[in-house]
Amino acid sequence: MTVVGTGHWSPAGAVCYRRVARGRIRDMNVVVCVKQIPDPADPGELDPNTKTLKRDVKLILDESDSYGVEMALQLVDNAGGGEVTLVSMAPNSEVGGLRTALAMGAAKAVLVSDDALAGSDSLGTAKVLAKAIERAGEADLIITATESSDGYTGTVPEQIAELMGLPSITFAKEISVEGGTVKVQRQTEAGYDDVEAPTPAVVSVTAGVVEPRYPSFKGIMAAKSKPVDEVTVADLGIDAGSVGWAGAGQEIVEIAAAEEREAGTIVEDDGEGFQKIVDYLAELKVI
């Protein structure tokens, strides 16, 4: 069994499974959807004319997806064979984020870049990604993040699953794959559930559950020559009218500044700061 996720993966288990349960090594192929986004440390702004995010900056790998890439690499490592393929949809043939994930150890990538995709909503994005995943070849697992850092709709994973007719498990903290079954610890309101599904399946992973590896110098050099299959909407057999602005089916009617909260009293602690809090809590009748 190969287990990756919060804290415990078990190489010992992996060896045992291969020798005893199957007697042979089975390849594991994982497709990871990775979004390339503007650096969140350098927030963009809304273009007042087109009402979209201005994106003339270089794109990087969404940190949320680095966990999925790490999980996929560990699953393949533990299985002892197979590869990780990346799928990304991004404007202007951007590969900055893909190169980072390739440097971490992914084998290859499919990049969908097409002007027709500008303005795509989550459904349009999922339609494109689903086709790109099919193009990437047969996969045991399709991994996404639970939500992207810049869009955070959190709907793309389930949309991909439904479009592909696959089962899905969202909010995974830990993943293991054993003989055609994926087992997941799925975060819940109260704790977590153990959930399993037959492969292939779509699994969305939450942030912070594994430590994404830093690309090594060797990895960075190797990434430069790894194949990136760049395709257009037409290459995927998608009708351009069903994606992008044309397919979005929604319009922004207004962009307005939100009401600001007024700053209150700020005091330097002179050893009596705690008393200010006590007085304030008493005033609010909390104590």
Partner 1 sequence: MTVSKIWVFAEAADGNVSSTTLEMLAKATELADTVECVTAAGADVAGELGAHGAAKVYTVGGTDGKLLGPAVSGAIAAAVEAGNAPDAILLATSYSGRDVAGRLSVKLDAPVITNIVDLAESDGSLVGTEPVFGGTTNVLTRFTGDKVGIFLVRPKSFTPAENPSGAAAPTEDLAAGDLGGTAAATITNRFVEEQSGPSLDDAAVVVSGGRGLGESEKFQMIEDLAKALGGAPGASRAIVDAGWVPYSYQVGQTGKVVKPTVYIAAGISGATQHLVGMKGSKNIIAINKDAEAPIFSVADLGIVGDVHKVLPALLEALQNR
Ligand X SMILES: Cc1cc2nc3c(=O)[nH]c(=O)nc-3n(C[C@H](O)[C@H](O)[C@H](O)COP(=O)(O)OP(=O)(O)OC[C@H]3O[C@@H](n4cnc5c(N)ncnc54)[C@H](O)[C@@H]3O)c2cc1C
34 strand-pairing partners: none
Residue from 3, 14, 31, 33 touching ligand AMP (CB under 6 A): that is 33
Q: Is residue 6 a contact residue for ligand AMP (CB under 6 A)?
A: no
Work out what residue 145 binds among partner 1, ligand X, ligand AMP, none; the CB cut-off runs from 5 to 8 Å by kind. Answer: ligand AMP
- Half-sphere exposure at residue 20, Cβ-oriented, CA atoms within 13 angstroms: 8
Residue type, 207: A
**256 residue type, one letter:** A
Interface residue with ligand AMP, options 74, 125, 176, 185 (CB under 6 A): 125
Q: Among 11, 40, 91, 180, indicate the residue that binds ligand X (CB under 6 A).
A: 40
Q: Max alpha carbon distance in the chain (Å)? A: 71
Asked if 114 interacts with ligand AMP (CB under 6 A), we say: no
122 in contact with ligand AMP (CB under 6 A): yes
Residue 258's contacts (CB-CB under 8 Å, 6 or more residues apart) are none
Please give the Cα distance from 171 to 148 (Å, whole number).
13
Q: Choose among ligand AMP, ligand X, partner 1, none what residue 220 binds, the Cβ cut-off being 5 to 8 Å by kind.
A: none
Tokens of 232: 């257009």
Pick 122 or 187: Cβ nearer ligand AMP: 122
Number of residues that bind ligand AMP (CB under 6 A): 22
Please give the Cα distance from 243 to 283 (Å, whole number). 55
Which residues, numbered 120-179, are part of the site for ligand X (CB under 6 A)?
Answer: 149
Residue number of the CB closest to ligand X reads 149
Phi, psi of 158 (to 5 degrees): -70, -35
Q: Which of residues 48-107 bind partner 1 (CB under 8 A)?
A: none
Q: Which is nearer to ligand X, 152 or 280 (CB)?
A: 152
In whole angstroms, give the CA distance from residue 65 to residue 60.
11
- Nearest residue (beta carbon) to ligand AMP: 145
Looking at residues 123 to 182 of the shown chain, list those that interact with partner 1 (rule: CB under 8 A).
123, 126, 146-147, 152-159, 161-163, 165-171, 173
Q: How far is CA 3 from CA 38, 156, 173, in A?
A: 32, 25, 11
Site stretch for partner 1 (CB under 8 A), options 13-21, 30-38, 183-191, 220-228: 183-191
Q: What is the DSSP letter of 53?
A: B
Please give the Cα distance from 213 to 23 (Å, whole number).
30
- Which of partner 1, ligand X, ligand AMP, none has residue 83 at its interface (CB below 5 to 8 Å by kind)? none
List binders of ligand AMP among 127-146 (CB under 6 A).
Answer: 129, 144-145
CA torsion, points 33, 37, 40, 46, in degrees to nearest 10?
-130
**List of residues contacting ligand AMP (CB under 6 A):** 33-35, 62, 64-65, 88-89, 122, 125, 129, 144-145, 147-148, 151-157
